[in-house]
Structure 1
Amino acid sequence: MIIGVTGGIASGKSTVARAFAALGAPWVDADDVAREVVEPGEPALEEIADRYSRAKESPVLNDDGTLNRRALREIVFADPAERRWLESVTHPRIRTRLLEHLARLEAEGAPYVLLVSPLLFESGQSKMTDRTLVIDVPEALQIERTAARDDVDEAQARAIVAAQMPRAERLARADDVLDNGGSEEAMRRRVSELDRRYRQLTSHRPETC
């Protein structure tokens, strides 16, 4: 069984995933895979570099040939059309690689596998899952954490949050919700509850040939 885990930026998705992993549930992080597909030598990076090669003031490639993520982020968050173009280049490649990673983990016999993705619903990756878990925190906390973590000002942090799916819509699509605005202890208690639930669901799934 594949559990899709999502939430707004800085909601603590990776922290929650590590708590699940401590209980024996492995995970694949779509952000990690998204970085893989734009590494030097990857076709997606070549397309990105070709499109923005004229942006001399804010080049999208660093001197060593790696992606300048901050420069690219400034471009795509300032122009929705550019964000859509970038997604058209990266999302199909991310999906293919995610399926490869998930298949490997399933073959290893895990009770269930987590697919952690900030764009689980927006990208259609939720179709790859059997159940979805939304990690939820208040928007003000998202903005505060984003500004501190990514070293951006409050205005840019707000723009990043605003560019994502509205909180209410994300919650409406969830099968399960984990409130991550409190203590770590409370989060771990909820993870334990969900782990028991997911193992129970897995044990009642019919065998397939």
Structure 2
Amino acid sequence: MSPPSSRPAPRRLGLLRLGLTGSIGAGKSTVAALLRARGLTVLDADEQARLVTLEPEVLAEIEAAFPGVVREGVLDRAALAGLVFGDPERLTRLNAIVHPRVRTRMVALEEAAAARGEAWVVQDVPLLFEGGLERQMDGVLVVDAPLETRVARVVARSGLTREEVLARDARQMPGEEKRRRATAVLDNGGSPEALEAQLDAALGRLGVTGTAREPARPE
């Protein structure tokens, strides 16, 4: 699915947004874990979309629009992806079902963070720039790594072929453009320690602080 929406989200009083994005295999999930370990609330757009598609009424709408993709009350994500991948009309139809509910969830989670007195919340969005969502952020972290490193990671964890990973990568905004638009770039082609040092330096420059500090478990 594409990003939830490029429509400006309401600004929560006293709450700043840090966008987190990166190309496939760059290590965005690892950085998200590090941010959580530093006491920051990380809102994962993909996770919220998955939760939305567990709701019976959403499943019913998806099945009505795409017959055969819900089997015994469970969404066949691979079958759905096969139908909408590369088909803008079908993708738009799917997004119209899912995205309003994802936005509602994300707003509620932001409100909860603001009520807890948090100064920053992280928006973890894979296609942040593609959806124009950087306009809603007060800073954007881009995680990057060399292409071959990224491809090897995805092949190892997903079972996708090299060609399939390259095809997915080609459909995203080029890494060079993401880096150009970023507030800070994290190079995840080296050691975990080097990544953490870059992250802490970037958070320091941006004045981003969390509420706790505990050891992370990088993926």
TM, length-normalised to structure 1: 0.82
Is the Cα–Cα contact under 8 Å of residues 25 and 111 in structure 1 kept in the other structure? Answer: no
1:170 to 178, 190, 203: 178
Give yes or no for the alignment of 1:33 onto 2:45. no
The offset of 1:115, in angstroms, is 0.8
The corresponding residue for 1:206 is: none
How many residue pairs are counted as aligned between the two chains? 195
* Consecutive unaligned residues in structure 1, runs of 5 or more: 54-58, 203-209
1:158 to 152, 161, 166: 166
Give yes or no for the alignment of 1:136 onto 2:144. yes
**Per the alignment, in what secondary structure is the counterpart of residue 118 of structure 1?**
coil
- Percent identity between matched residues is 38
Deviations 1:102-152 (A, max 9, x none): 221122122421111102122343333211111112233322222222222
The corresponding residue for 2:99 is: 91
The corresponding residue for 2:71 is: 62
The offset of 1:17, in angstroms, is 1.4
**Per the alignment, in what secondary structure is the counterpart of residue 55 of structure 2?**
coil
The offset of 1:154, in angstroms, is 2.3
The corresponding residue for 2:196 is: 188
The corresponding residue for 2:85 is: 77
The corresponding residue for 1:205 is: none
**Per the alignment, in what secondary structure is the counterpart of residue 122 of structure 1?**
coil
**What is the 5 A alignment of 1:14-53?**
14-43=29-58, 45-53=59-67
The corresponding residue for 1:56 is: none
Choose between structure 1 and 2: higher helix proportion.
Answer: 1
**Per the alignment, in what secondary structure is the counterpart of residue 21 of structure 1?**
helix
**What is the 5 A alignment of 1:193-204?**
193-199=201-207
Q: Report the residue type matching 2:203 in the other structure.
A: D
**Per the alignment, in what secondary structure is the counterpart of residue 170 of structure 1?**
helix
Is the Cα–Cα contact under 8 Å of residues 145 and 189 in structure 2 kept in the other structure? Answer: yes
The corresponding residue for 1:207 is: none
Is the Cα–Cα contact under 8 Å of residues 40 and 209 in structure 2 kept in the other structure? Answer: no
Q: Report the residue type matching 2:27 in the other structure.
A: G
Q: CA RMSD in A?
A: 2.2
Residue 77 to residue 154, structure 1, CA distance change in 2 (3 Å): farther
**Per the alignment, in what secondary structure is the counterpart of residue 48 of structure 2?**
helix
